[in-house]
């Protein structure tokens, strides 16, 4: 993980504004959000189980994140390499009910080394996010 200092750190806006302003750049709200915090991601690369993201964290300042009117505060953006296991899960004997809801193995490495060749591209995307959010 590589934290990137940015003018968007600490900015407050609604969930709806965040999605509206960063969505056209290719950012999507991560599906692993919680009631009070989440991430909006841009997938830089997806190469055979190795995925690199520009990830912008945000947290609710009051209210649920599934409400576009809820105000959130943005945290420090970072670059993340997430290595997924692409082989068969040998311990996949969890039963039909659990398997219906949880079909994925744990990541091989949640914080793998970030490829040097993508760092500048990630910083450029954070700069575009700053422009879209009006913080430059």
Helix (H) or strand (E) holding 96: helix 96-101
Q: What is the pTM of this model?
A: 0.78
Domain boundaries of the chain, sorted by first residue: 2-85+105-132
* 13-23: pLDDT as tens digits: 999 999 999 99
Measuring CA to CA, how many Å separate 58 from each of 74, 77, 88, 125, 133? 4, 9, 34, 17, 14
* Cα–Cα nearest to 58, from 41, 46, 80: 41
Domain 2-85+105-132 has CATH 3.40.50.1100: no
* 79-114: pLDDT as tens digits: 998 776 655 555 555 555 555 444 444 555 556 678
At 84 the pLDDT is: 64
């Amino acid at each position: 993980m590589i934290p990137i200092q940015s003018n968007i750190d600490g900015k407050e806006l609604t969930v709806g504004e965040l999605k509206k302003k960063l969505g056209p750049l290719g950012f999507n709200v991560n599906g692993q959000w919680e009631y009070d915090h989440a991430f909006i991601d841009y997938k830089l690369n997806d190469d055979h189980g190795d995925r690199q993201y520009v990830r912008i964290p945000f947290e609710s300042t009051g209210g649920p994140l599934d409400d576009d009117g809820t105000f959130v505060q943005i945290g420090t953006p970072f670059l993340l390499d997430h290595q997924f296991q692409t082989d068969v899960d040998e311990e996949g004997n969890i039963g039909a009910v659990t398997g219906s809801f949880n079909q994925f193995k744990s990541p091989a490495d949640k914080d793998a080394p970030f490829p040097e060749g993508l760092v500048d591209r990630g910083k450029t995307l954070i700069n575009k996010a700053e422009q879209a959010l009006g913080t430059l």
